[in-house]
Amino acid sequence: MKAVFADTFYWAALTSTNDAAHERALALSRSFAPRQIVTIDEVLCEYLAFFAEAGAHVRQEASRNVGEILDDSCIRVFPQSRQSFIAGLQLYRARSDKAYSLVDCKGITDVLTNDRHFEQEGFRAMFRE
């Protein structure tokens, strides 16, 4: 089964019906079978932070969505550990010419994002096609 990495951009686009990428996120979601979605704790933290000031209702929805992501057998969430943090830090330090965060320092071929920084590292940003 081929896996696809889900970045914060994807989860936010799925949640927000007003997001310009919402319909594309839904269409990509329907096209995944038999792919597994992979994400990381750090992305889920960014997702929650993205909606932090959106009001109580949206915060509750985002929190509920993260619970569903964690419980979904088709989604694999890698936990943050000291080891994964250090590995990301080392990549971050090695790429001082780049403008991406530690969260972006994880690898998989296809990424559910519009973030060009993934493309700079050789990945396929599925929202930029």
What's the pLDDT at 15?
92
The span from the CA of 110 to the CA of 34, in Å, is 14
- The structural domains of the chain, ordered by start, are 3-128 (3.40.50.1010)
Residues 6-24 as b/e (b if ≥16 CB within 10 A, e otherwise) read: bbbbbbbbbbbeeeebeeb
**Cα gap 15→22, rounded to integer Å:** 8
DSSP code of 121?
T
Write the burial class of residue 39 (CB in 10 Å: 0-12 exposed, 13-18 middle, 19+ buried): buried
- A 10 A CB-CB count for 111 gives 27
CA dist 98 to 10, 101, 119, Å?
21, 9, 12
* Residues in the chain, pLDDT under 50: 102-105, 107
The helix or strand, by DSSP H or E, that contains position 4, with its residue range, turns out to be strand 3-6
| DSSP sequence for 24-46 | HHHHHHHT-TT-EEEEEHHHHHH
Could you tell me the pTM of the whole model? 0.71
The confidence score (pLDDT) of residue 107 equals: 47
- Would you state the pLDDT for residue 72? 92
